[in-house]
Amino acid sequence: MRIGKKRDQVVLEWWQKGERTASGATPEGWQPGARLWAEVEQLRGRTLFEAQKANAETTARIRLRYRADIAAATGKTLRLRHGEITYRLEGRPIDVGGKRTELELMCHEWV
């Protein structure tokens, strides 16, 4: 792993359910977690025209140090924020080389 390339900070955001309230509702939402150093690489971007409205879609590869909680995460439980951009996971994180030193996450911009 080349630590010098990990110069971007990302914030992990976990989907969590709160405790049941007196009315019986269970609040849910994204809760900020750790701030980590990562390498964020924009792979491609495209504009989709749908019903006279333009939507931008960006695909990115995010590499960071191995963490067991991230390795077990899915797009329904974890998303990442890099500056003003929020990314959702596409598939499971990849353990690069199988050595538990680095994870690679394929992501799409959260729109």
Domain count within the chain:
1
The answer as to whether 84 is a domain residue is yes
Position 87 scores a pLDDT of: 93
Q: Does pLDDT of 62 surpass 80?
A: yes
Range of the domain at 66: 3-18+26-41+57-109
The answer as to whether 74 is a domain residue is yes
Position 49 scores a pLDDT of: 53
Position 52 scores a pLDDT of: 52
- pLDDT tens digit sequence for 35-55: 999 999 888 765 545 555 555
Q: At 66, which CATH number?
A: 2.40.10.270
Mean pLDDT, the chain, integer:
84
Sign of CA dihedral 90, 85, 110, 12: positive
Model's pTM, two decimal places? 0.78
Helix and strand tally (H, E) in the chain? 1, 7
- pLDDT tens digit sequence for 74-109: 888 999 999 999 999 988 999 999 999 999 999 988
